[in-house]
Amino acid sequence: AYKDFSKEAHNYAKEIFDLKHVHSEVKSGKLSGAFCYTVTKDISPYIMLNHTDKLRDLFTMMHEFGHGIHGRAARSQTHFTFHSSLPLAETASIFGETLLEKKMFDKISNSEKLSLLLKSLDDKYASISRQAYFVLFEIEAHELIKKGATVQDLNNLYYKNLKEQFGNSIIIPEKFKHEWKYIPHIYHSPFYCYAYVFGNLLGLALYGIYQEEGDKFVENYMNVLKAGGSDSAYNILKKHLNINIKKEEFWQKAFDLIKEEVDELERLV
């Protein structure tokens, strides 16, 4: 997928493989999940995976290599500015996942397409809508706490937000009102979850622009990655892609892609 998109991005990914900076084997005692560790701008990133040859593992690998490519692309920056800002941190990872999904889609059967779309839309709910509601809950919860709210008040608030998310589509057991208590970000990284929403929608919107512009988009996109954290997300995107993230129509490109997937899913069911 990267080779077809950009030789430069492909070479960054190949470098990580060639240097054997990937640990993918599942082992007893090994940390679960996956991550990409960009040590310094002069060292090729390390990627930790737990690969079991499932579809989700393939997308996880693409996601983490997106982070790795971002880190290598930004190596011309200083040690203090090569790490991207939080709003841009998920750009390359989500864009990479979308590249893979679109590349696979035309080469698989309808039943496989159905599985792929279900996985994709599940992930988009988990990383966009769900994360946005976490932050909305946090904002409201902090306001209530100022007024002396109890834990039960916060439980009720969280439960209200859950019901708002799903409407009449499902019945949510009341025990889910306690779910907020074991979401670590709420305690350790308050309001952090907006970055997942921003990053996922940004990656999708950029893919929408790639669909419109084709090859001329590629160099500009790579320049966004090369900018690292040398400027604000707004300025970097404005400078290299001439997009204004304050405009609603830019973000609509992401929702248009999501709608396309929903429409295709309904067609296949």
* Span 201-256, pLDDT tens digits: 999 999 999 999 999 999 999 999 999 999 999 999 999 999 999 999 999 999 99
Which residue, among 18, 26, 19, has the nearest Cα to 51 in the 3D structure?
A: 26
Contact 203, 93 (CB under 8 A): yes
Residue 36, helix vs strand vs coil: strand
Q: How far apart are CA 92 and CA 259, in angstroms?
A: 22
- The DSSP secondary-structure symbol of 108 reads S
Q: How far apart are CA 174 and CA 160, in angstroms?
A: 10
Taking only the tens place, the pLDDT of each residue in 28-68 is: 999 999 999 999 999 999 999 999 999 899 999 999 999 99
Where residue 1 falls among pLDDT bands split at 50, 70, 90? confident
- What pTM does this model have? 0.90
pLDDT surpassing 90 at residue 131? yes
> What's the rounded mean pLDDT across residues 91-109?
93
